[in-house]
Structure 1
Amino acid sequence: MTNYAVFLRGINVGGINLKMADLRAALATLPLGRTKTLLASGNVVCAFDGTAAKLKVMVETLLRERFGYDAWVVVTTAAQLDAIIAACPWPADDASTHSYVTLSSVPAVLDELARHGGEIAGVEFARLSPEAIAWPAKAGGTLDSPFSKLTARPRYKSTTTTRNLRTLLKCQEAMAAFA
């Protein structure tokens, strides 16, 4: 079985409320091992004997059928998550600046975000992998960050999700505990 991190897009914001206990119960119906939810923002670590693409479809279908909303997830392997975290040029624990990572299952979408981000004066970002772009935001100013505004466009809703680097570290720690 391969260890995966599954990041749900847009739950517990914008009117889509999902209790983690309900999510765990729903996920228990899938052929997953060592399933654990982290925080209330839709982070799941699990083991699955199949591809990331198959896991993505299974989880999205389950969420749509069980909870009745347009569900989108991004799935990474433990190795991909490790590489993304290691490549991030900004710290996870700076009190004045928060480090964010926008994840996507569609690298071409991140290519487009990078292209558009490069056109905005003063925007900092770093491509970490085919699945991830990192960007810093001043503490308390995340939603005002130009890159945050770019990633929040409706065009990217079905293919991206953003997490604080600290959240990715929690997922990494949870998967490391599987070993």
Structure 2
Amino acid sequence: MARLLALLGSINIGGNRVKMVDLKAAFAEEGFKELVTVAASGNLILSDERDPVYIEKQLERVLADRFKFNSCVMVRTKEQVQTAVDDNPFHGTGPEHGSDKMVHSIFLSQQPDQARFDALLEEHSTKGSERLALGDRVLYLDYVHGVGVSDLSSKFLERRLGCKGTARNMNSLKNIISKMA
């Protein structure tokens, strides 16, 4: 069976509180196998052969039914997660790269239209110091001075790009990848 990562958006923020042990138990009851949670922010490693889009919808349904909140879920393979780290142009060593805490890969529900991304870049060019780049169903973002002081909230990005997303910083992604081995 394939090892997959389910990235659950908005877990343990904004009032969507759930213990990882409860989350794991609920998904196990739904037939998901070999579940491992990583941190308390909605990272779930699982084994499954079904279509990732089907898995996303099933996990979203369980969150709504059992925990009474809506969340977007993105399912990716280990290789896709590794690519989201390796291809992030703001991650690496040297003065031109951001810190692993500030550099994020935002996993997107679909590939945004290039024109929408270009409009986002244009609109934001005079507003903040954050750096953005677009990958394959991933938005790369260096928050530079921190997420809390940025105008680039998840809701703002969703409206501008026309798709949902859930972000993880480089520290989290490296930890997740090590657990997926």
Q: When the two structures are aligned, how many residues end up with a matched partner?
A: 172
Distance (Å, rounded) in 2 between the aligned partners of 1:111 and 1:5: 29
1:127 matched residue in structure 2: 134
Partner-residue secondary structure (3-state), 1:75: strand
Write the mapping of 1:151-170 to structure 2, written as runs, cut at 5 A.
Answer: 151-153=154-156, 155=159, 159-170=164-175
Write the mapping of 1:15-164 to structure 2, written as runs, cut at 5 A.
Answer: 15-91=15-91, 95=99, 98-108=102-112, 112-113=116-117, 115-121=119-125, 122-129=129-136, 131-139=137-145, 141-146=146-151, 148-149=152-153, 151-153=154-156, 155=159, 159-164=164-169
Partner-residue secondary structure (3-state), 2:171: helix
In the TM superposition, what is the alpha-carbon distance from 1:110 to its structure 2 partner? 7.9
In the TM superposition, what is the alpha-carbon distance from 1:145 to its structure 2 partner? 2.5
In the TM superposition, what is the alpha-carbon distance from 1:112 to its structure 2 partner? 3.0
Indicate the RMSD between aligned Cα atoms, in angstroms: 2.6
* Structure 2: runs of 5+ lacking an equivalent: none
User: TM-score, normalising length from structure 1?
Assistant: 0.83
* Structure 1: runs of 5+ lacking an equivalent: none
In the TM superposition, what is the alpha-carbon distance from 1:157 to its structure 2 partner? 9.7
Partner-residue secondary structure (3-state), 2:61: helix
In the TM superposition, what is the alpha-carbon distance from 1:97 to its structure 2 partner? 6.4
In the TM superposition, what is the alpha-carbon distance from 1:123 to its structure 2 partner? 4.2
Partner-residue secondary structure (3-state), 2:102: strand
Which protein is richer in strand relative to its size? 1
Answer whether contact 1:82 1:172 (CA < 8 A) is retained.
yes
Partner-residue secondary structure (3-state), 1:31: coil
In the TM superposition, what is the alpha-carbon distance from 1:111 to its structure 2 partner? 6.5
User: TM-score, normalising length from structure 2?
Assistant: 0.82
User: Residue type matched to 1:103 in 2?
Assistant: F
Task: Compare 93-102 and 7-16 and name the one that shifted more.
Answer: 93-102
Task: Compare 59-68 and 110-119 and name the one that shifted more.
Answer: 110-119
